[in-house]
Amino acid sequence: MTVLPLALSAFLSAPRIIAPGEVSQTTQPTLRLFAEVEEAAARLEVNGQPAGSCEGGGKREKVLHCSAPLEPGENVVELSSAGGTAKVLVRRYVTTGPIVPGVDLFGFGPGTVHRAEVEKQCARCHPMDEAKDKAKDERLSGSECVRCHAPLTERPKQHGPVGQAACLLCHDPSSAPQRYAVKWPIQETCFYCHFEIKKAMDTKAYRHGPAAAGRCTTCHDPHGSDQPFWLKKHPYDLCTNCHTEKRSGRHVIVGFVYGDSHPLRGRPHPIKRDVEFACPSCHNPHAAQARYLWQFDVTVREKLCRTCHAK
């Protein structure tokens, strides 16, 4: 920590946080924060604990670029320097977890970077208008847009259009006051390409709660993940995050002679190659023809069993 003589610190002003705004929200595990400071020695705290780090100086001049890990729920983020402290509130929600009070599910919420008054300040050093006059399917590879978003765009495995850096297929550069909005409900963004899922949702007899609500990103990360089908978690953890009672490990017990439950994960899928057997092996996560959302469009329990257990 730098200790300044009192006489000097009296002339310094507190850091001024440029982004995020006083109250903001995210689904990301890491916050990025930008602030103007008069001297580079600054301290970052999340919920009262030292966390994260900042870079400033050099070509960044007096604009600190900080990042800090966020806890699910409310995070009070404080940036202190000799001149004082600046503070913002960031709500992080995990889409399969309980809803965090105050979070606006309809969008990104107010308070991030792509608003005119903030972009103006970044534009001193970064091109902020690379989407201008570009076609919806234009590839933004090599742009600063993709460089600034490296945490999303440099993942080892990426969902098709993200791998192509075709951000504008899903993000509308002309939305206001916040740029780069996605359509709501989010399924409208997905159905642009995944019409087979739309067809299933429209025509099958039963639909699964979160998919019927149109919130595909409850379960899928739209930019890609290291799970199959770009899921946000391992399928078993994903399902039992909401259906917590199934963590007891006892499920599909009628008719069992050996053991007291059907296995629920960790075996090879008997009829699909290279797939791990888990909840979605028996249940369709989107829509199905039976109330219990059985796979393979079966409506009779025994037929479900026989799909994998031939005799």
Site residues for ligand HEC, 35-54, by CB under 6 A, read none
Q: Among 38, 252, 289, 299, which residue sits at the site for ligand HEC (rule: CB under 6 A)?
A: 252
Binding mask 253-272 for ligand HEC (x = CB under 6 A): -xxx-----xxx--x--x--
Long-range contacts of 98-105 (CB under 8 A, 24+ apart): 100/25, 100/72, 100/73, 100/74, 102/23, 102/25, 103/25, 104/25, 105/215
Comparing CB distances to ligand HEC, the nearer of 100 and 305 is 305
Q: Would you count residue 98 as binding ligand HEC (CB under 6 A)?
A: no
Residues 189-228 that bind ligand HEC (CB under 6 A): 189-190, 192-194, 197, 201, 208-211, 216-220, 222-223
Based on CB atoms, which residue is closest to ligand HEC, 75 or 218?
218
Q: Which stretch binds ligand HEC (CB under 6 A): 2-10, 38-46, 78-86, 284-292?
A: 284-292
Distance in Å, CB of 286 to ligand HEC, minimum:
6
The verdict on 146 binding ligand HEC (CB under 6 A) reads: yes
Angle at 153 between CA 165 and CA 180, to 5 degrees: 65
The smaller minimum CB distance to ligand HEC, of residues 79 and 118, is found at: 118
Joined tokens for residue 247: 């963590």
Burial 245-280 (b: 16+ CB within 10 A, else e): eeeeeeeeeeeeeeeeebebbeeeeeeeeeebbbbb
Interatomic CA distance for residues 305 and 252, integer angstroms: 10
Which one, 81 or 218, has the nearer CB to ligand HEC? 218
Stretch that binds ligand HEC, among 4-12, 44-52, 77-85, 187-195 (CB under 6 A): 187-195
Q: Residue 2 interacts with ligand HEC (CB under 6 A)?
A: no
Q: Report d(CA 290, CA 272) in Å as an integer.
A: 21
Which one, 87 or 262, has the nearer CB to ligand HEC? 262
Tokens in use for 31? Answer: 């916050």
- Which distant-in-sequence residues (6+ apart) come within 8 Å of 299 by Cβ? 289, 290
CB of 178 to ligand HEC, least distance (A): 5
**Structure-block tokens of residue 158:** 């990426």
Q: Does 243 engage in binding with ligand HEC (CB under 6 A)?
A: yes
Collapsing DSSP to helix, strand or coil, 240 comes out as: helix
Q: Is 70 in the site for ligand HEC (CB under 6 A)?
A: no
Q: Is residue 17 part of the contact set for ligand HEC (CB under 6 A)?
A: no
Return the residue matching tokens 């739209």. 222
* Contact by Cβ (8 Å): 42, 16: no
Minimum gap (Å) between residue 259 Cβ and ligand HEC: 7
